Chains A and B, each alone.
Chain A
């Protein structure tokens, strides 16, 4: 076998491998900057400035944090189960990153378009529970164990609701392939959030609970459990858990984008008089670049001025890349790159918006108590999601076999599901509440 034959045999693996390397290399950086954005958003909501010291506007803070964590002492507790303690964070990170492999970031940028794509993402990200549970157990500490137990209970509970919400959207799409789901939405001409708004709402709530974020961050309720399952972790292993957590945020946001928000398609993709929206990405990046240039002279130190200007230049460059396919002649190579580049932009834009909603909710709502959390999951979200799936199935049957207008069908089922939700709320209000009623796990 000569070199060419080997190259030919490897050709189908080349691009997926390249994409995988890019994702694994870029993701820690992305996770770091999500942390920075979160701190900035939090500061903004609390009328503070947030990190401002490292780099202009704290832009280098994630890198400083990562360096600090890398060189920090890695402590393994004396009585810990060393092997599991060592391996548990790896399980979390691996599962979170594997889930990204089936997601279509733009029509060309996808590692694998599986026939069972969405199930694969759900299944692999569910394996991440192992990392949390085993890490909590291996630490051999009460805080960790309790945090891990809570976490496992919470994840198992909310996975059912999230799964049922996903089933609703899958019924509409008629396929499990992530690419097929996005394609269906653009063919139908409506994102599934408008067809099944309640399904989207259920997925939103369940995905917050699944990523262990406030107001459902019971596993690491610091006032009760110090830091939950990560209490005994330090240094790089702790950073791995953090990376897994933020990767999971990206994963659930990507699932929501693919399923409900039309994936990589532009808003109103089929309305030709709104094609002007194609210029929105360029204008947005130009706006950010302009702000950077405006702020650059106001930085206190010379280095920071230059850094701010460099960031502005980078944004302007991205704007240029986004603009070129639009102004290039229609049948040139550059113009054919438009779906790929703009698709990636819209996908990432939607994912970022979803994550922003996560942060917004985090700093708006107080934390739930554990029994309230379980009650919400099992007695409200799960029944509602089952009603939602049944409603969507009925609506589809009505419109397909009886030929009723689609809009009417889905309006009717949405109203009926809302009525069911109202009834569920009334029923749960009549029940005795509080810890005194049934102990920590509620009446489950």
Chain B
């Protein structure tokens, strides 16, 4: 009971703030609602007993990325930005893509004949201790893909440093 109540609270918060992110004219307000949307997602992770994902979501997305967004936004002259056109006239394409995506989700749910959403929840004890399980997965079961992704991120990081440096 309590689980579904908290889930619906977090889900509503996420959806509403997601809508507000794209409809606010003021960029700083958008960034704040982005932060609340990400926090609500973290809350959903918590209701699923994924404690590690919950806190990593907060540290990386809310505490890291959104702070950087806000940091950059503050350097922008907002009065000028407010008078610029912020929306592309591509709503037809967007609508088409949304319809296709929605149809896919509905089709997946319909074709699975209830097996997708009638799955029994995993026993909570199987997810404990959460951090250790994630670590085991990343550094043992999926060691190679994890390291490959790390190298990819490192390459991107070095690339960004090289591109932003005035003289190499």
Contacts and interface: CB of A to CB of B under 8 A. Distances in A.
A127 interface: yes
Interface string A87-119: 000000000000000000000000000111001
B59 A123 contact: yes
B70 A122 contact: no
B71 interface: yes
B58 interface: yes
Given A130-B67, A133-B67, A134-B70, A115 B28 contact: no
A84 B26 CA distance: 12
A124 interface: yes
A129 B63 contact: yes
Contact of B67 (A81, A116, A129, A176): A129
A137 B28 contact: yes
A225 interface: no
Interface string B24-50: 001011001001000000000000000
Q: Is the interface of A mostly helix, strand, loop or mixed?
A: helix
Interface residues of A, number: 26
A210 B26 CA distance: 29
A149 B62 CA distance: 17
B147 interface: no
Interface residues of B, number: 26
Contacts of B29: 83-84
A29 interface: no
A195 interface: no
Nearest to A124: B58
B59 A133 contact: no
A116 B55 contact: yes
Interface in A128-177: 129-130, 133-134, 136-137, 145, 148-149, 152-153, 156, 176
Given A114-B51, A126-B59, A149 B74 contact: yes
Interface of A: 81, 83-84, 114-116, 119-120, 122-124, 126-127, 129-130, 133-134, 136-137, 145, 148-149, 152-153, 156, 176
